[in-house]
Amino acid sequence: MPEAKIAPSMLSSDFAQLGAEAQRVVKHGADWLHLDVMDGHFVPNMTMGAPVISCLRKHTQAFFDCHMMVSAPEKWVDDFAKAGCELYCFHLEATQDPLALVDQIHAKGMKAGVAIKPKTTVDQLEAFEGLAEKADMILVMTVEPGFGGQKFMAECMPKVKALRAKYPHKDIEVDGGLALDTIDAAADAGANVIVAGTSVFKAEKPDEVIRTFREKVNKVQLK
């Protein structure tokens, strides 16, 4: 199992202070910054695009984990590569040819992630032969994509467990409702990349939250 990576979701930050917020959570121990890109079509909300990420890139050297909650994710690969995105994670449900999209992302020098919604099964992911192996990361959504602050869906954990058993060295990310009372379920299932928004950005001591998340994941890893 790969090492823990804690990726605070900038969706829960103060967007008027985006650069400072990024620097703050990195100072408190964040490994990655999770950037939620929503187009108002694939999901019923709109957030940031490549121009905003390009501006943020000037304020931090942190690893940018770009979660593309967009229709036609093929359309935006070049723009986000130029903006400084290092991992481009698209939704399986948003594309007809995910294998070709992974190749397109890799050709631009980025890592490729594949995200699945709560109702999308591991079998649906693996129906595309070789996709899970070719992708650098698999993201299992633990809420319906589109909004922050939702309740963690523990019923998604069997998918994480199945993916970890089959792909022991793969980065497996969980996103949605991760907090001090849900991290154990995610860590025990085998997730090693933890996305957390409210529980980090609204915490009195975000460094303690991040440290606890990392310790929980690494404890499972050592078993």
- Per the annotation, binding residues for a divalent metal cation are 34, 36, 67, 175
- Contact status, residue 42 vs residue 70, Cβ threshold 8 Å: yes
DSSP assignments along 8-75, one per residue: EBGGGS-GGGHHHHHHHHHHTT-SEEEEEEEBSSSSS-B---HHHHHHHHTT---EEEEEEE-SSGGG
Q: Binding site residues, as ranges?
A: 9, 34, 36, 67, 146-149, 175, 177, 197-198
Q: Quote the DSSP letter at residue 92.
A: G
Q: What are phi and psi of 212, to 5 degrees?
A: -65, -45
Q: Binding site residues for substrate, as ranges?
A: 9, 67, 146-149, 177, 197-198
Which positions are annotated as active-site residues? 36, 175
